[in-house]
Amino acid sequence: MEVAVIGGGAAGFFAAISAAHHHPHATITIHEKTDKLLRKVRISGGGRCNVTHHQLENRKLAKHYPRGERFLRKAFERFAVKDTIAWFETQGVALKVEPDGRMFPTTDDSKTITTALLGAAEKAGVRIALHSSVSRIERDLPHGGYVIHHGPQRSVVDRVIVTTGGHPKASGYSWLAELGHTVVPPAPSLFTFNLPNDPIRELMGVAVPAKVRIGTNAGMLGPVLITHWGLSGPAVLRLSAWEARQLQEVGYRCTVHVNWLGERGEEEARAAFTEHDMDRKHAQNADPFDLPDRLWCHQLQKAGIALEKPWGEVGKRDRNRLIDRLINDRFEMEGKTTYKEEFVTAGGIALEEVDPRTMQSRLHRGLYFAGEILDIDGVTGGFNFQAAWTTGHIAGRLEG
Ligand SMILES: Cc1cc2nc3c(=O)[nH]c(=O)nc-3n(C[C@H](O)[C@H](O)[C@H](O)COP(=O)(O)OP(=O)(O)OC[C@H]3O[C@@H](n4cnc5c(N)ncnc54)[C@H](O)[C@@H]3O)c2cc1C
């Protein structure tokens, strides 16, 4: 049996290795359009590769995917985090868990992961074709397989696994649309918010647990980092993922609301000042919320309160203004910035047309999809690679 895996990234390697394992007599070739294999794995997680996330409950794991939750719930029944950990262990790679659940190789070096994948593929006899850009796949009806067009060449194969990753433009998927598959239009996910005209940027480096929201959504609770261009940090990245499509629709221009006190509302904020008896303190020292000093003073100034003024002399109107600034601060987002540690594309092959238990196309037997080419994307933290390992491993079984 001849198997073509199109794309030499995380999903492509996992699919090819799995295919070799499940079908020892098959000839498996990875077609990679560039001269670099596993490029994203190499640069991922700031060079450390955040391989997966320590979430062993599949239902909870699936909740980290703004697109693909239901589909992955079924797929995780077949291959999930504990399988990833075990697989890397069999390759001699130990993974460690960081306090926030992210898992990295103990070496803190993505090279450990690329070496393991390249080694496993070589050992399994997987062939590699570099500079092999696939531009078309055709059904080869009498034979029941496929003809793949790569550069000036054509190859006739029995099975095809497409793992070409995300593409920023819909045109990047047209060769798959030609097969009759529906492509959900791409939208970038995992980015930070630009606030080019806001003085908050002077507080660059300040990090606070806060709640961020846009429009009427419930908002994201978590660390928010102020940068020299705007807002970043896990809560902002998560929000960018959940609202990827809506933000694309408004051209990344909208009002961002931040509650610097997290979940606390007006009543609780008001009560905190009374509980802590702040009246004799200068306003700049009267923070009952333990916010970073620079942020507290910035908010006082924004509310028009002099830093040296005794808190007891701050009038009701000023206090109200300050509380509003603390629990419902507003910023005008104007554009986005790519988060260098991890970014992905939402959109891709519509999940209704793929069987989550096999990754086989529901339109064409013997055609499989895995990785970011599918309309699946996760928040940051190792979830995107986990989706690639899961879907790649399942696709490589070549079932259905
Ligand atoms: C900077 C950065 C850091 C990241 N860090 C993390 C992280 O730490 N943890 C995490 O979970 N996720 C991370 N991600 C996301 C993760 O890298 C992707 O979700 C994952 O790589 C997707 O794997 P894939 O194999 O589906 O696609 P890709 O890795 O994109 O691989 C697709 C491959 O297919 C090739 N290809 C494309 N078209 C063709 C064609 N027509 N013919 C032949 N070959 C083709 C491409 O050249 C590429 O090599 C990061 C992403 C980026 C950009």
Same domain (yes/no): 65, 155: yes
Question: Which residue owns the Cα nearest ligand 1 atom 22?
Answer: 372
Are residue 106 and residue 90 in the same domain, yes or no?
yes
Q: What is the mean pLDDT of residues 6-30?
A: 98
> Domain boundary at 320, 338, 356, which?
338
Same domain (yes/no): 300, 208? yes
**Ligand 1, atom nearest to 48 Cα:** 8
- Reported as a single tens digit per residue, the pLDDT across 351-391 is 999 999 999 999 999 999 999 999 999 999 999 999 999 99
Structure pTM? Answer: 0.94
| Shared domain check, 298 and 367 | no
Tell how far the Cα of 226 is from the centroid of ligand 1, in angstroms: 28
- Look at residues 297, 320, 338 and tell me which one is the last residue of a structural domain: 338
- 77-113 pLDDT, tens per residue? 999 999 999 999 999 999 999 999 999 999 999 999 9
Co-location of 374 and 271 in the same domain: no
Split into its structural domains, the chain has a count of: 2
**Are 15 and 159 found together in one domain?**
yes
Distance CA 37, CA 285 (A): 55
Any atom of ligand 1 within 6 Å of the Cβ of 385:
yes
pLDDT at 218 over 90: no
Residue 289 and residue 371 share a domain: no
238 and 297 co-located in one domain: yes
Q: Are residues 15 and 103 in the same domain?
A: yes
One domain, residues 149 and 44: yes
364: domain CATH number is 3.50.50.60
pLDDT of residue 142: 80
Which of 164, 175, 343 to mutate to test ligand 1, by most ligand atoms within 8 A of the CB atom?
A: 164
pLDDT of 115: 98
- The per-residue pLDDT for range 116-162, each reduced to its tens digit, is 999 999 999 999 999 999 999 999 878 889 999 998 999 999 999 99
Residue whose CA is at the smallest distance from ligand 1 atom 37: 164
pLDDT at 4: 98
- Domain residue limits at 271: 191-338
The pLDDT tens digits of the residues spanning 240-288 come to 999 999 999 999 999 999 999 999 999 999 888 877 777 788 999 999 9
Give me ligand 1 centre to Cα 191, in Å: 16
Same domain, 16 and 119: yes
- Tell whether 198 and 327 lie within a shared domain: yes
